[in-house]
């Protein structure tokens, strides 16, 4: 009887566990995200730990409003400053970077530091005196007022920190074509030829002016360095260094952007894997003359209308 009942009871079938591809994919994706996030976090912290640069106080800043007709184009005032020995800073490098985030285009305008400038609230002086007199806001108002350029954000870097930033970004150096021997007043000796320069050598290259080109040659070399940096942005080694660089920049550069915004901007450029860069020097050719004032020394007098028109055409061109 019992044997008969056992025969009638249905036997439970053992379920075969199927490998769910979707679940495996999500698990791997989650692990990958955690790994990347952890890598970025520790690299960012390492970058901050490696940097303990000089404290810079650029003062308050009020940027212009974005153009509602073109809200994805932002203009950045970029200033490289140098301590004159008194604890105050003058700007050796003054640039405006106009970045079209939609199309991945950037336009860089370099301003000669000896331009005789109308500085709001002060007597006219050389352009590089504006920051010395009133900080980043005065520098911004001077450039935007003279040349009719809206400025939305700023970044200030001390040249003492530039060397370290370059060494962190490019630990094996950045390739440059040095066209002549350079050594006077730059702290290094550079020989002609294509070579990889470290941070100190790059700074010397960008600041050299002891030749017949003077400041005009220096501005051209500064643009060359920035173009070389741009060209290396999308290499694998630079991309892997991005979180560490962001951490270093957080300590070394003063800006109105938050750390999150800084990292977002960097990642936006890297994600597009494209950044076309064009450059312009102010004053443009045949628009300036040299003169001297007792209170300001030797200066560059410019044809303001001609330079405003050159900037307008440069920024408007697609």
- Look at residue 39 and tell me whether its pLDDT is greater than 50: no
pLDDT class for 128, splitting at 50, 70, 90?
very high
Q: Is residue 245 part of a domain?
A: yes
- Look at residue 186 and tell me whether its pLDDT is greater than 80: yes
- Look at residue 307 and tell me whether its pLDDT is greater than 50: yes
CB 58 within 8 A of CB 156: yes
Q: Is residue 293 part of a domain?
A: yes
- Look at residue 22 and tell me whether its pLDDT is greater than 60: no
Q: What local confidence, expressed as pLDDT, does residue 45 receive?
A: 53
Q: What local confidence, expressed as pLDDT, does residue 230 receive?
A: 84
**What domain count does the chain have?**
1
- Which residues contact residue 36 at a Cβ distance below 8 angstroms, ignoring those fewer than 6 apart? none
- Look at residue 210 and tell me whether its pLDDT is greater than 80: yes
Q: Is residue 78 part of a domain?
A: yes
Locate tokens 């860089």: which residue?
108
Tokens of 32: 């990958």
Beta bridge partners of 80: 93, 157
Alpha-carbon distance 23 to 35, whole Å?
18
Q: Is residue 130 part of a domain?
A: yes
Lowest mean pLDDT among 80-84, 92-96, 120-124: 80-84
Q: What local confidence, expressed as pLDDT, does residue 37 receive?
A: 47
Q: Is residue 22 part of a domain?
A: no
Q: Is residue 68 part of a domain?
A: no
Locate tokens 């001609």: which residue?
306
What average pLDDT does the chain have? 83
Q: Is residue 150 part of a domain?
A: yes
- Look at residue 243 and tell me whether its pLDDT is greater than 90: no
- Look at residue 170 and tell me whether its pLDDT is greater than 70: yes
- Look at residue 36 and tell me whether its pLDDT is greater than 50: no
Give the DSSP letter of residue 190. Answer: B
Domain of 237 in residue numbering reads as 73-316
* Bigger pLDDT: 238 vs 29: 238
Q: What local confidence, expressed as pLDDT, does residue 258 receive?
A: 77
CATH number at residue 184: 3.40.630.190
Q: What is the mean pLDDT of residues 124-147?
A: 96
Q: Is residue 97 part of a domain?
A: yes
Q: What DSSP letter does each residue of 296-318 carry, written as one string?
A: TEEEEEE-HHHHHHHHHHHHH--
Q: What is the mean pLDDT of residues 275-293?
A: 94
Q: What local confidence, expressed as pLDDT, does residue 23 receive?
A: 60
């Amino acid at each position: 009887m019992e044997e008969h009942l056992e025969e009638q009871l249905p036997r439970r079938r053992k379920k075969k566990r199927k490998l769910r591809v979707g679940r495996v994919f999500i698990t791997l994706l989650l692990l990958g995200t955690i790994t990347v996030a952890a890598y970025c976090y520790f690299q960012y912290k390492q970058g901050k730990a490696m940097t303990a640069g000089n404290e810079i106080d650029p003062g308050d800043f009020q940027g212009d409003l974005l153009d509602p007709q073109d809200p994805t184009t932002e203009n950045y005032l970029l200033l490289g400053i140098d301590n004159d020995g008194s604890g105050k800073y003058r700007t050796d490098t003054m640039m405006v970077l106009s970045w079209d985030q939609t199309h991945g285009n950037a336009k860089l305008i370099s301003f000669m530091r000896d331009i005789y400038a109308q500085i709001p609230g002060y007597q006219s002086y050389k352009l590089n005196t504006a920051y010395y007199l009133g900080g980043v806001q005065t520098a911004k108002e001077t450039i935007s007022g003279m040349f009719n350029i809206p400025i939305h954000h700023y970044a200030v870097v001390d040249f003492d920190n530039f060397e370290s930033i370059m060494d962190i970004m490019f630990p094996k150096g950045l390739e440059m074509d040095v066209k002549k021997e350079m050594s006077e007043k730059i702290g290094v000796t550079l020989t002609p030829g294509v070579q990889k320069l470290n941070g100190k050598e790059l700074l010397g290259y960008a600041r050299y002016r002891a030749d017949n080109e003077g400041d005009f040659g220096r501005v051209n070399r500064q643009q060359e360095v920035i173009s070389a940096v741009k060209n290396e942005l999308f290499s694998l080694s630079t991309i892997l260094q991005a979180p560490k660089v962001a951490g270093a920049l957080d300590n070394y550069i003063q800006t109105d952007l938050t750390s999150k915004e800084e990292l977002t901007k960097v990642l936006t450029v890297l994600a597009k894997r494209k950044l076309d860069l064009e450059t312009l020097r102010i004053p443009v050719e045949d628009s300036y003359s040299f003169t001297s004032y007792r209170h300001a020394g030797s200066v560059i007098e410019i044809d303001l209308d001609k330079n405003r028109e050159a900037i307008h055409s440069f920024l408007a061109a697609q």
